[in-house]
C-alpha cells in the first residue's frame, strides 16, 4: 500500500450512545466519512434511546488512560477529539495524558447535557475543563448554553467567546443551534483576533449527535492538515448536510446521515 493512501489517525475519547446517534459511533462515522481513521477510547457508557438518557457511567479513569496510552504508543495519532468525559476524575486523567503530548491538535466538545436536556456530566468537570483542558485545546466547540455554564454571568456571544479564549484555547466555535433564533448563528473566534460568524438555515427536526458530528469532522480535517478556520467551516457544512438528510430511525430525535448517499 502506498503511504499516500494511509489516512491520518484521530484519537477519540468520548462516551458510548447505544443508539449510534451521538457519542463514539457518531465520532467514528464522521471521522471515517472525512477520510481519517478513528481510534475510539470509551470514557463513559450511557443508557439511552433517541428520546431520553436514563443512565451515565463514567469509565474508570485508569482504564481510560490505559486505552489512550496504548493507541498513542502504537499509532501515529494526528489529532485528538474529546467528547463526553462525564466525571471530573476522567477529565483529570485525560488532561494528564494530553500534557504528555503537548503538540497534538486537540478538539474539545465539552458535553455537559444531552440534546433532550438530561445532565451527562458531573458539576466538578466544569472546573477541570476550565483549568486543565481548555488551556491545551486547539478548538473548543461549546453550544450557547454550555458557554454560559463555563462563563457565568455573561450572555453576549462575543464576550463569551473572548472569555473562553482567555482560558487558553486557541480557537472557539460557539454553536447557536440551542438558541431560540430563526436561523442558527455560530461564532468562530481565535486568540489571534480572528472572528467569523456563520449563519445556517434552521432545520425543522431535532437531532441526536449534531455536536459530536461537528467536532469529530473538525478533528478529522485538522488531522488531514487543514487550518482551524478551514476545518471549522467545512465541518459545519458537512454537519448541516448530515442533519438535513437525518433519519427517523427511532421514536425520538433524528439521527444524522453521516455517510452521504
Ligand atoms: N456523547 C454522548 C455519549 C451522548 O449521549 C450525547 C448526547 O446524548 C452527546 C455526546 C452529545 O450529543 P450532541 O452531539 O447532540 O451534543
Provide the pLDDT for residue 25: 98
Q: Are 238 and 230 in contact (CB under 8 A)?
A: no
Provide the pLDDT for residue 100: 96
The pLDDT > 70 percentage for the chain reads 98
CB-ligand 1 contact for 246 (6 Å cutoff): no
Residue 234 CA from chain centroid, whole number: 15
pLDDT in tens, 65-85: 999 999 999 999 999 999 999
pLDDT higher than threshold 70 for residue 156:
yes
Rounded distance between C-alpha atoms, residue 77 and residue 70, angstroms: 11
Confidence of residue 1 (pLDDT cuts 50, 70, 90): very low
CB-ligand 1 contact for 176 (6 Å cutoff): no
Residue matched to cell numbers 433519519? 247
CB-ligand 1 contact for 208 (6 Å cutoff): yes
DSSP letter for each residue of 205-233:
S-BSSHHHHHHHHHHHHHHTT--HHHHHH
CB-ligand 1 contact for 8 (6 Å cutoff): no
Cell of 50: 433517541
Distance between Cα 109 and ligand 1 center (Å): 10
pLDDT higher than threshold 90 for residue 116:
no
Rounded distance between C-alpha atoms, residue 212 and residue 134, angstroms: 17
Edge-first strand order for the sheet with 183-190 is 53-58, 37-48, 9-16, 77-82, 106-108, 139-140, 171-174, 183-190, 195-201
Please tell me whether the overall predicted TM-score, pTM, comes out greater than 0.75 for this model. yes
CB-ligand 1 contact for 161 (6 Å cutoff): no
Rounded distance between C-alpha atoms, residue 144 and residue 179, angstroms: 7
Cell of 123: 458539576
Cell of 88: 471530573
CB-ligand 1 contact for 20 (6 Å cutoff): no
pLDDT in tens, 196-238: 999 999 999 899 999 999 999 999 999 999 999 999 999 999 9
CB-ligand 1 contact for 15 (6 Å cutoff): yes
CB-ligand 1 contact for 13 (6 Å cutoff): no
Arithmetic mean of pLDDT, 248-257: 97
Distance between Cα 169 and ligand 1 center (Å): 22
In the chain the domains, ranked by start, together with CATH numbers, are: 9-244 (3.40.1190.20)
CB-ligand 1 contact for 85 (6 Å cutoff): no
Distance between Cα 170 and ligand 1 center (Å): 24
Provide the pLDDT for residue 106: 98
- Return the residue whose CA atom lies nearest to atom 13 of ligand 1: 209
Confidence of residue 3 (pLDDT cuts 50, 70, 90): low
pLDDT in tens, 45-68: 999 999 999 999 999 999 999 999
- Return the residue whose CA atom lies nearest to atom 15 of ligand 1: 209
CB-ligand 1 contact for 24 (6 Å cutoff): no
Provide the pLDDT for residue 5: 85
CB-ligand 1 contact for 132 (6 Å cutoff): no
Provide the pLDDT for residue 2: 45
Q: Are 10 and 81 in contact (CB under 8 A)?
A: yes
Distance between Cα 17 and ligand 1 center (Å): 7
Provide the pLDDT for residue 150: 98
Provide the pLDDT for residue 121: 97
SS3 58: strand
Arithmetic mean of pLDDT, 114-126: 92
Rounded distance between C-alpha atoms, residue 166 and residue 119, angstroms: 26
Arithmetic mean of pLDDT, 96-105: 97
Provide the pLDDT for residue 260: 85
Confidence of residue 4 (pLDDT cuts 50, 70, 90): low
Distance between Cα 112 and ligand 1 center (Å): 9
Distance between Cα 85 and ligand 1 center (Å): 11
Amino acid at each position: 500500500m502506498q503511504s499516500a493512501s494511509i489516512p491520518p489517525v484521530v484519537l477519540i475519547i468520548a462516551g458510548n450512545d447505544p443508539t449510534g446517534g451521538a457519542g463514539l459511533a457518531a465520532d467514528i462515522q464522521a471521522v471515517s466519512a472525512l477520510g481519517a481513521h478513528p481510534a475510539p477510547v470509551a470514557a463513559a457508557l450511557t443508557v439511552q434511546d433517541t428520546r431520553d438518557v436514563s443512565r451515565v457511567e463514567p469509565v474508570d479513569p485508569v482504564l481510560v488512560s490505559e486505552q489512550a496510552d496504548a493507541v498513542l504508543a502504537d499509532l501515529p495519532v494526528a489529532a485528538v477529539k474529546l467528547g463526553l468525559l462525564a466525571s471530573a476524575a476522567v477529565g483529570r486523567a485525560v488532561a494528564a495524558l494530553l500534557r504528555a503530548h503537548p503538540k497534538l491538535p486537540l478538539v474539545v466538545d465539552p458535553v455537559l447535557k444531552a440534546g433532550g436536556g438530561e445532565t451527562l456530566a458531573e458539576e466538578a468537570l466544569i472546573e477541570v475543563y476550565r483549568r486543565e483542558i481548555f488551556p491545551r485545546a486547539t478548538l473548543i466547540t461549546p453550544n450557547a448554553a454550555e458557554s454560559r455554564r463555563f462563563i457565568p454571568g455573561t450572555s453576549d456571544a462575543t464576550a463569551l467567546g473572548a472569555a473562553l479564549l482567555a482560558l487558553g484555547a486557541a480557537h472557539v466555535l460557539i454553536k447557536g443551534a440551542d438558541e431560540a433564533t430563526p436561523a442558527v448563528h455560530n461564532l468562530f473566534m481565535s486568540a489571534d483576533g480572528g472572528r467569523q460568524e456563520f449563519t445556517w438555515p434552521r432545520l425543522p427536526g431535532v437531532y441526536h449527535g449534531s455536536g459530536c458530528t461537528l467536532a469529530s469532522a473538525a478533528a478529522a480535517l485538522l488531522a488531514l492538515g487543514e487550518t482551524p478556520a478551514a476545518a471549522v467551516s467545512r465541518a459545519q457544512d458537512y454537519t448541516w448536510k448530515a442533519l438535513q438528510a437525518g433519519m427517523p430511525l427511532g421514536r425520538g430525535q433524528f439521527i444524522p446521515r453521516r455517510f452521504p448517499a
